[in-house]
Amino acid sequence: MIAALLLAAALVADPVAAPSAAAPAAAPARAAPIADTDLREFAAIAGRKVVGRAVGGPYANADKVLLIARDDKGYPAVAASMGFPVRQSLPAPPATTLAVIRVHQRYETTIPGPTADDLAFVAANRLPLFVIGEWARPAPMWEVAWVDDAVRFRTIGEVGEIGPWRD
- Domain-embedded: residue 167: no
Tell me the DSSP string of 127-139.
--EEEEETTSSSP
Q: Residue 51's domain is classified under what CATH number? A: 3.40.140
- Domain-embedded: residue 72: yes
- Domain-embedded: residue 162: no
Q: How far apart are CA 36 and CA 80, in angstroms?
A: 19
- Domain-embedded: residue 21: no
Q: How far apart are CA 80 and CA 9, in angstroms?
A: 6
- Domain-embedded: residue 163: no
* Sheet bearing 62-70, strands edge to edge: 76-85, 62-70, 99-104, 129-133, 141-147, 150-155
Q: How far apart are CA 11 and CA 14, in angstroms?
A: 5
Q: What tens-digit pLDDT sequence spans the chain (167 residues)?
A: 344 344 334 433 433 333 333 333 444 455 677 888 899 999 999 988 888 887 777 776 788 999 999 999 999 999 999 888 887 889 999 999 999 999 988 776 667 789 999 999 999 999 999 999 888 788 889 999 999 999 999 998 877 688 888 88
Residue range of the domain that includes 104: 2-13+31-155
- Domain-embedded: residue 84: yes
Look at the chain and report how many structural domains it folds into.
Answer: 1
Position 164 scores a pLDDT of 86
- Whole-prediction pTM: 0.78
- Domain-embedded: residue 125: yes
Position 18 scores a pLDDT of 35
Position 67 scores a pLDDT of 95
- Domain-embedded: residue 166: no
